[in-house]
Structure 1
Amino acid sequence: MRLVFSIYTALLYAMAGVAGATLIWLMISVITSVVMRNLGLQPFAWLFTSTEYGILYMTMLGAPWLVREKGHVHIELVTAALPAPLRRIVSRGVALACVAVSLILAWKGLELFLTNIERNDYDVRAYFTPRWILTISFPIAFGMMAIEFSRFVFGSELMHSGEAGIHE
């Protein structure tokens, strides 16, 4: 079981690493596109397409890691006002709702992915790209987010600190 957790954690951090590298690529591709336009050149078609795909992949691959690190946006105003026992209940309830939503989105993402394969759908812009290449990220990312949110439901750590304001 320890091996499974190690592999899962390695996958989670690898996905976050790819998301970070994608952010760097987005910066490079946007700068390159702007420079080319300012020089009177037509930017490469693949440059724009890779930027669009990169935004999706960066978001989906980085999201499970953000959940683990509590880097997602949430407001502590209400939980800060609650007594500790009630805060635990509310925090675990919110995390449970997040698990439910993530599982629903993972299931729907899987259905979409399988539909794209069944129909042999293509994303037709500059290139013919199989659409499943985009939609495969949905069940993977949302499934892993469900796992990460469930750590706050069943684990010792709470999602909410109970401290309102910015703490960095």
Structure 2
Amino acid sequence: MRYALRLYSYVLNGMALIAGVLLVWLMVAIVVSVVIRNLGLQPSAWFFLSTEYSLFYLTLLGAPWLVRQKGHVHIELLTSVLPPVALTVLSRLVALLCVAVCGVLAWKGLDLVTMNIARNDFDVRAFFVPKWILTIAFPISFGLMAVEFSRFVFGPEILHSGEAGLKE
């Protein structure tokens, strides 16, 4: 079990690392594209397509790690004034709702991936890219987010700290 948990952590951290690399790529690609345009040239269509895909992937690949780190945005106005018991109940209910939403999105994402594979769909813009390469991130990321939110439903920690401005 210990090895499975370690492997799971490596997967989550690896996805976050890939998201970070994609963020750096976005910065480089945008700067290079602007420089090329200022020189009066036309940047490759690959720059535009890769930045578009990077925005999508970095959002989905980094999201499960953010859930684990409690890095998602939430309003602390209510949670900071709740008594500890009410905070625990509310936090676990919110996490349970998040598990349900992520579970539905993972299921629908898997349905979309299988449909893309069955239809042999392609994203036809600058290049012919199989759509499943883009949509495979949905079931993986939302499935992992459901797992991470379930840690706050059933585990010893809760999602909300109850302290306003804690992460500032």
TM normalised by structure 1 equals: 0.98
- How far the C-alpha of 1:166 sits from its partner, in A, is 5.1
Detail structure 1 runs of 4+ shifted over 2 Å in the superposition. Answer: 165-168
Q: Residue in 2 aligned with 1:20?
A: 20
Correspondence 1:1-168 to 2 at 5 A: 1-165=1-165, 167-168=167-168
Question: What residue identity is the alignment partner of 1:140?
Answer: I
Distance 1:121 1:16 in 2: 28
Question: What residue identity is the alignment partner of 1:91?
Answer: S
Distance 1:39 1:113 in 2: 41
Q: Secondary structure at the match of 2:80?
A: helix
Provide the aligned length of Structure 1 versus Structure 2: 168
Q: Secondary structure at the match of 1:132?
A: helix
TM normalised by structure 2 equals: 0.98
- How far the C-alpha of 1:81 sits from its partner, in A, is 1.3
Cα offsets for 1:8-61 (capped at 9, x unmatched): 100000000000000000000000110000000100111111000000110010
**Structure 2 stretches of 5 or more lacking a match?**
none
Q: Secondary structure at the match of 1:81?
A: coil
| Identity of matched residues, % | 62
Distance 1:167 1:77 in 2: 14
Distance 2:167 2:122 in 1: 45
